[in-house]
Amino acid sequence: MNDNIKVPNFDTFSTLVDRLTIEIVKRAHFEFMLESQSATLNETSKNELHRKIAIQNDITQVLRQKLADFLRETLAKGSYKYIDEERTFS
């Protein structure tokens, strides 16, 4: 099978955008918790939120790069191939 064929719910355009969006929302949630509860959080909790935010930053950077690579590849080829998967349940 061709290595360039994309698998739905894994490496298609919509999956990359969806995952990037989810990870940005997760980061925003941790940032909101840190900002809104900063006065009541102990240092351990604050450090844990900073750690989670840093992880989300790493994840979003990787996903942005994957999306940029995907778009460059798609633009260069003019299209992309994917497996047209049937839904299991209606």
Instruction: Judge whether 88 lies within some domain.
Output: no
Q: Could you give the residue ranges of the DSSP H alpha helices within 1-90?
A: 13-37, 43-77
Buried b (16+ CB within 10 A) or exposed e, 34-69: beeeeeeeeeeeeeebeebbeebeebbeebeeeeee
Instruction: Judge whether 38 lies within some domain.
Output: yes
What pLDDT is attached to residue 3? 67
Quote the mean pLDDT of the chain: 92
What pLDDT is attached to residue 1? 57
Number of structural domains in the chain? 1
Write out the residue range of the structural domain in which residue 73 sits.
13-77
Instruction: Judge whether 39 lies within some domain.
Output: yes
Instruction: Judge whether 3 lies within some domain.
Output: no
Alpha-carbon span 56 to 23, nearest angstrom: 6
Instruction: Judge whether 84 lies within some domain.
Output: no
pLDDT of 55 higher than 80: yes
